[in-house]
Amino acid sequence: MRKLIRAAAVAIACFSIVPEAVEAQGRADPLAALPSDAGALGGYNVLIADRGNNRLLLVSPAKKILWDYEFVGLGPSEGADDAFFMDGGKRIIASLEHAQVIQIIDVESKQVVWDYGHLGRPGFADGYLNFPDDAYMLPNGDVMVADIRNCRVLEIAPDKHIVRQAGVTRRCGSRAPYLYAPNGDTPLPNGHVLITTIGDHSLVELDENWKQIFRMVLTLHYPSDPQMTKAGNFLIADYSRPGAIVELDRTGRVVWSYGAEETDPLNKPSLAIELPNGNIMANDDLNHRVIVIDKASKKILWQYGVTGVRGTRPGYLHIPDGLDIIKAE
């Protein structure tokens, strides 16, 4: 019996070595087969919030890692859900939804220069958040964040006092002034705010005074992170499996979509943006990849991360949950 066990162990060990040897010889490198049209990004680098790896990456169109940042003191997969550039790329604001905090990171020094919330401690009193999502720096220097489980959107001053609030703390609902688990709060150039709400599958628009002026019930399972297109339509990710990216006009008519009917289906995409060149970039969270889609052909032109394979090595991701772009130098 011992001989049989030893023989089996040797066989398993040999089997595990073969794929590594093949990859080392360059005959089974999954990165080589990925779409790699650098021109698809239109001259922009992409910031990736690689939540499962508790890190941020800045990746060039040629897929070179230009900058990285490691979050410390967090549990597994508690890294940033979203991260956006501010101050012309000198700083990054990140929402760590699963860690209950917002952080502003200086790019050069890699130091946290401002934060809000208590690490690992959800709450609703001043200074606390409960699953904060989509933190943005506003033009006036305040921070806006969707505080999901507190059913509110907050505007927070640099000195950390709350300037104003949409929704009623811990009272979730579908009629104004209530919000039902807001998970996206995109600021628009005219001072308005676009909000997606999980609980009632809706899209809400606030005016510059944070008065609700528009609400549309969506047919999406889990609407996430609304964005505006150049045509004035709404671009929304459906965080589902299979997932979808949908562009809607103000009447709710679907003018473009990428979804389950495609040959390369999505697995819980949480954010999609329209690039300046018209292509669509999205993070496909549980497929562990960021992709750029040609809007006309629906072909994936560029991809970072191997579909369905998580990893830490260059070219691999683990639950990429957010993205932003900055002009390549």
In a domain, 10, yes or no: no
Domain count, the chain: 1
pLDDT in tens, 38-52: 999 999 999 999 999
The DSSP secondary structure of 87-116, one letter per residue, reads: GGGTEEEEEEGGGTEEEEEETTTTEEEEEE
300-327 tens-digit pLDDT: 999 999 999 999 999 999 999 999 999 9
pLDDT at 295 over 60: yes
Q: Under the phi-then-psi rule, with left for phi > 0, alpha for psi from -120 to 50, and beta for the rest, what region is 326?
A: beta
Asked whether the beta carbons of 104 and 113 are under 8 A apart, the reply is yes
Spatial separation of the C-alpha atoms in residues 310 and 287, rounded to whole Å: 8
List, in order, residues 6 or more apart from 321 with CB less than 8 Å away: 49, 50, 51, 79, 80, 81, 82, 270, 271, 283, 285
How does residue 11 score in pLDDT terms, banded at 50, 70 and 90? very low
- Asked whether residue 279 is assigned to any structural domain, the reply reads yes
Q: What's 259's domain CATH number?
A: 2.120.10.30
Residue 13's pLDDT band, with cuts at 50, 70 and 90, is: very low
Q: Report how far residue 180's alpha carbon sits from residue 174's, in angstroms, rounded to the nearest whole number.
A: 6
CB 201 within 8 A of CB 220: yes
Of residues 170, 152, 151, the one with CA closest to residue 162: 152
**Residue 221 lies inside a defined structural domain of this protein:** yes
**C-alpha to C-alpha distance for 96 and 88, rounded to whole angstroms:** 22
Statement: residue 26 has pLDDT above 90:
no
| Mean pLDDT for all residues in the chain | 92
Spatial neighbors of 303 by CB under 8 A, at least 6 apart, are 34, 35, 36, 289, 290, 291, 292
Mean pLDDT of 182-204: 97
Residue 1 lies in a domain: no
Q: What is the pLDDT of residue 273?
A: 98
Domain that holds residue 295: 35-327
Q: Is residue 195 part of a domain?
A: yes
pLDDT for the residue 187: 98
| pTM for the model | 0.90
DSSP conformational letter for 240: S
Tell me the per-residue pLDDT of 267-292, one tens digit each, with 9 for 90 and over. 999 999 999 999 999 999 999 999 99
pLDDT of residue 28: 72
**What single-letter amino acid sits at 293?**
I
Residue 18 lies in a domain: no
Q: Kindly state whether residue 8 falls inside one of the protein's structural domains.
A: no
For residue 263, the model assigns a pLDDT of: 85
Q: Is 26 a member of any domain?
A: no
